[in-house]
Structure 1
């Protein structure tokens, strides 16, 4: 079971890296992100069906720790842009959460740091870290969310929607990745 869990997690990480190089919001990125999500779900089901990582040698557990951490940080970006692309279907340009990304610049880097911090705090047994990360992010983004100086091509609702959907997707992804390691 250990080899299967590590292999499927590694395949998920490969899909995450592949999704990073694809055009954001493209159909191919959405499909690859879906495959990455399927890998995470498969690993979760395998661990639930067995005894989790209980009884694993420390070395193999450490490999899973690193693979899941890499998956948490790299996979959350493409997954978030895929979710935002799916949300945008049928929206006008002014309502587009993709266009709102121009207001919330630095989102990819902030998201990666956020996912890394959340993953690390969850794996370290400090779930309160999630609240700290979200509080810092919310306070740091507040001026941009409430600024009246946004471009006319973007509605304030689209900016807030992008922030909320992006944050929730990113947080849920990193917590799910941490859950693999915490199944012991």
Structure 2
């Protein structure tokens, strides 16, 4: 009796590599030239890669594991930042001004009587500085933990990031951006890592 499984696996493997390579290429473009369209294209290609990886009846050949991992980490690192930016834009628009060091400018709590009465504007301060670098490290760690089959590490990643940002989350704007940006970044990185985990299982 004819068994179509090898043919299906061959097609799924080819589609997996093509979609993953496409997602990696568009993720790099989205990182260099942030546009929501590029993020959606990369997200679509990543979704196709996830479906192909889950459709495989056996794992891909051992020699292809490192290539899949490199592609997935590329997607996680480069695509996560524009993905988080797109999520923030959808959720909050341009409601806060960007700072000079990658953070956002928020108004400090009034400390003088004049500031409390609205006679003098309260000073602004930049919070969530260095978010791009922190995001890159976070996504490398998240995708790597999924590839390695150790998702428990995600709790450590979130805890370290939360503790490091704790003192900056007093303002509502900072809390909202932190939650939305972190979740979008982690979901993106975990999806990229999950492709490899499913393909080499």
TM-score of the pair, normalised by structure 2 = 0.76
Matched, 1:50 2:42: no
Structure 1 pair 98–35 and aligned structure 2 pair: CA distance change class (3 A)? farther
RMSD: 1.8
| 1:51-97 deviation per Cα after TM superposition (whole angstroms, max 9, x unaligned) | 2xx242111122111101111111100100011111124x7x4xx38
**Distance in 2 (alpha carbons) for counterparts of 1:126 and 1:69:** 16
Structure 1 pair 66–157 and aligned structure 2 pair: CA distance change class (3 A)? same
Give structure 2 stretches of 5+ with no counterpart. Answer: 1-11, 105-125
**Distance in 2 (alpha carbons) for counterparts of 1:117 and 1:14:** 21
**Distance in 2 (alpha carbons) for counterparts of 1:97 and 1:12:** 30
| Contact 1:97–1:158 (Cα < 8 Å) also in 2 | no
Q: Residue 160 of structure 1: CA displacement?
A: 0.5
Q: Report the counterpart of residue 33 of structure 1 in structure 2.
A: 39
Q: Residue 177 of structure 1: CA displacement?
A: 0.9
Matched, 1:78 2:82: yes
Who wins on radius of gyration, i.e. which is larger? Answer: 2
Greater share of helix residues, 1 or 2?
Answer: 1
Q: 1:161 aligns with which of 160, 176, 194?
A: 176
Q: 2:91 aligns with which of 74, 87, 90?
A: 87
Greater share of strand residues, 1 or 2?
Answer: 2
Q: Residue 18 of structure 1: CA displacement?
A: 0.5
Structure 1 pair 46–105 and aligned structure 2 pair: CA distance change class (3 A)? same
Count of residues in correspondence between the two structures: 164
What is the DSSP-based 3-state SS (H/G/I as helix, E as strand, rest coil) of the residue aligned with 2:169? Answer: helix
